[in-house]
A and B are shown apart, each in its own frame.
Chain A
Amino acid sequence: MKATIAIQRGAPGETAHVETFEVAFEPGQSVLDALRILRRETDPSLAFRFACINANACKECMMLIDGEVDYACKVKLKEGVTSLLPLPKKALVRDLVTEIAPPDERLFAPVRKSAR
């Protein structure tokens, strides 16, 4: 089966554009599976967050999938077009990556006072 994945790409300051890719898939495979296949087979520069792949435990792979906020590792691929956008309410980093960490777990966060 074939899925068509339309991905919004670009970094802040660039004009966002949509790129469309075709991926062969087997029923049950996830949107994250497709993104990882695309990197291996077509465009290794495609940016998206993920860590745990199977467990749905890290909660890093959230994005806008066909207009809904969801986990790329949980949503199954389908025939026809799937549209992927970065999370709308988070600062864009690049492609599908947004700044999702709580502010005090980021590098550019206010330094907390030492206990001493």
Chain B
Amino acid sequence: MHLETDVLIIGAGGAGMYAAIEAARAGASVILADRSLIGRGGATVMAQMTVAVALGEQTPDHWEHHLADTLAAGRGLCDENLAAMLCEEGPARIREMDAWKVGWAREDGHIKQAHAPGHDRPRCVYVDFLATGPAVSRTLRAQLNHFDGVRRVGDLLIVDIVVRDCVAVGAVALHTPTGEIVTIAAKSTIIGTGGLTRLYRRNSASSNMSGDGYALALRAGAELVDMEFVQFFPIGHLAPRLVGMDPIMWDPFRYKLGGKLLNGDHQPFEEEYAARDSRSDGAYVLTRDLATYAITKEVEAGRGSPAGGAWLSFRHIPEADIRRAFGPVVDRLAENGIDLARQDVEVAPIAHYHMGGVRVDTSFATSVPGLFACGEAVGGANGANRLSGNAITEALVFGARAGQTAARHASGVAQGWTEAAAKTSVDMLKSASARPGPNLAEAVARLQAVMADKVGAFRTAEKLDAALADLDALAREIGDTPMISAKAFDPVLVDWLDLRQMLLVARSVAIAAKARTESRGAHQREDYPGLDKAWTHNQVVTLAGGDIALRAASPAKRG
């Protein structure tokens, strides 16, 4: 099957859906494709917490204050122009969402803004109860109905961007329910595929967050930036099994109530690590980075909790206070058989967000004409670490912008599609065979283990080298020919295609991590502790002659 459109948008999360709305508003025809269902497959629908935006509703604020906090968290590596755009245009997007009835929580007649760590004042809007992401997703999906020019296609996995004479001209896709190969001619293509945290064993990811967009961009000849900066959330939920809650939910409660971290022997350990470090921020006993470090070290020393993390205890807090602070969450916990007044839960660092990503300019164009990117798929705005609440703002602001510029680009060019340009990718899919080979679902788990154990929150040259060797071995195991088990909805073929992309993305993270011989923000090297001023630059990743190449670039300054 062959389709044609002005603008192809890959990924229907917050970024992709906003891009579709803006591209349609600008008069472009749009195909909005998602490998999952529209508005359901990625991080946007899963986010339960807050959205950072300088509305000044709760307390006077200005986007420059939001920017100052964003740049501080980014530790010298932010693309200041992208960061400024996120902060400056956030209010317009949040107010537009408000007009579309997303339902931001209100208090005394104004939109309520909460104070989240890292922000200098209350700045974060949300939708009750823990419904921010679902509300954002639902609102954008409903808006799409107003635009006839947008064709929404779920179950369409984009496999490759098609490039002709160094220009992006469309894409090759797999329609999973039928197994049919679909080609799409597009004047502009936008990558809105979200992040890569599924590369790690413990993560907050959906099954669609394997970093496809980074691999699509690299193979198309575009650049990535800051790939070494994967954000780990220190106290992600580990055990007992908990469904229906965001795994990062413990943080605000620990913050509010003073939940205690205990090691496997039920001994407190936070203070010992805090005493050794001067970065303690007063509010938390330990900063986030240090909490991740402390838990990882306790586990390595054989003092982990049974599931391999730390205990989080609220048992010293009166039951009534727990109920007051947690509200309806207490009931959701009870559904999962968890009673905080009587039992501790296990937590561990989990991969949560990717600061790095596709390198774009302020029109969200990549270095490949016709190829754009937006949302978490983009690198640069958050530098070496991200403030809480910035990711959804980033998705909405960058999505809207990318939609506008991609539509403008499309209005000035002709379709460049040729079948010949798509041939390599189509042939690869056609060559798929049912052959004996490794269990690919298990291979994905092995890749996740390699990344967690050797390219995790704390890195050394030795571990990174070992990881690269493991990734090479895994690549040889899966080979160059896709494996299949059935025609319709074949998870084996999807795993193979995922591994093809995940292996490339994992390599780019490991190679960039190895080159950066310092510790900064979310990139921590045990063999190079401490920030090194000489490293105040970004690393740009490209794919040249089949291998990953790195070069340095200065972070963009405002202007």
Interface residues of A (CB under 8 A from B): 11, 26-30, 33, 36, 39-41, 44-47, 50-60, 73-74, 93-95, 97, 99-101, 104-107, 111-116
Contact = CB atoms under 8 A, between A and B. Distances in A.
Given A39-B441, A93-B489, 19 more contacts: A11-B486, A33-B241, A40-B445, A41-B442, A44-B495, A47-B490, A51-B42, A51-B208, A53-B206, A54-B204, A54-B245, A60-B40, A100-B37, A101-B37, A105-B38, A105-B152, A107-B153, A115-B27, A116-B149
8 contacts: A36-B441, A39-B441, A51-B36, A51-B42, A54-B242, A57-B45, A58-B45, A107-B182
A40 B206 contact: no
B40 A56 contact: no
Given A58-B45, A115-B149, A51 B154 contact: no
A53 to B, nearest CB: 7
Given A44-B485, A94-B486, A39 B241 contact: no
Contacts, number: 142
A112 B5 CA distance: 13
B442 A53 contact: no
Interface in B227-258: 237, 240-247
Contact of B491 (A41, A45, A113): A45
A55 B49 CA distance: 12
Contacts of A41: 439, 442
Contacts of A30: 241, 243
Contacts of A107: 1, 153, 155-156, 175, 177-178, 182
A44 B491 contact: yes
Contacts of A11: 486-488
List 10 A-B pairs, minimum CB-CB distance, nearest first.
Answer: A28-B241, A45-B485, A39-B441, A56-B244, A58-B40, A55-B46, A94-B488, A115-B149, A115-B148, A51-B206
Nearest to B34: A105
A74 B244 contact: yes
B38 A101 contact: yes
Interface string B27-55: 10100000011101110011010000000
B133 A57 contact: yes
A54 B247 contact: yes
A56 to B, nearest CB: 4
A47 B38 contact: no
Contacts of A50: 207
A112 to B, nearest CB: 5
Contacts of B440: 44
B293 interface: no
Contacts of A39: 441, 491
Contacts of A55: 45-46, 48, 244-246
Interface string B419-461: 0000000000000000000011110010000000000000000
Contacts of B38: 101, 105
B492 A45 contact: yes
Nearest to A58: B40
B154 A106 contact: yes
Contacts of A56: 243-244
A73 B207 CA distance: 13
A52 B134 CA distance: 12
A115 B148 CA distance: 5
B36 A58 contact: yes
B343 interface: no
A105 to B, nearest CB: 5
A52 B45 contact: yes
B127 to A, nearest CB: 13
B22 to A, nearest CB: 14
B13 to A, nearest CB: 11
A106 B151 CA distance: 9
B336 interface: yes
B337 interface: yes
Contact of B154 (A26, A44, A105): A105
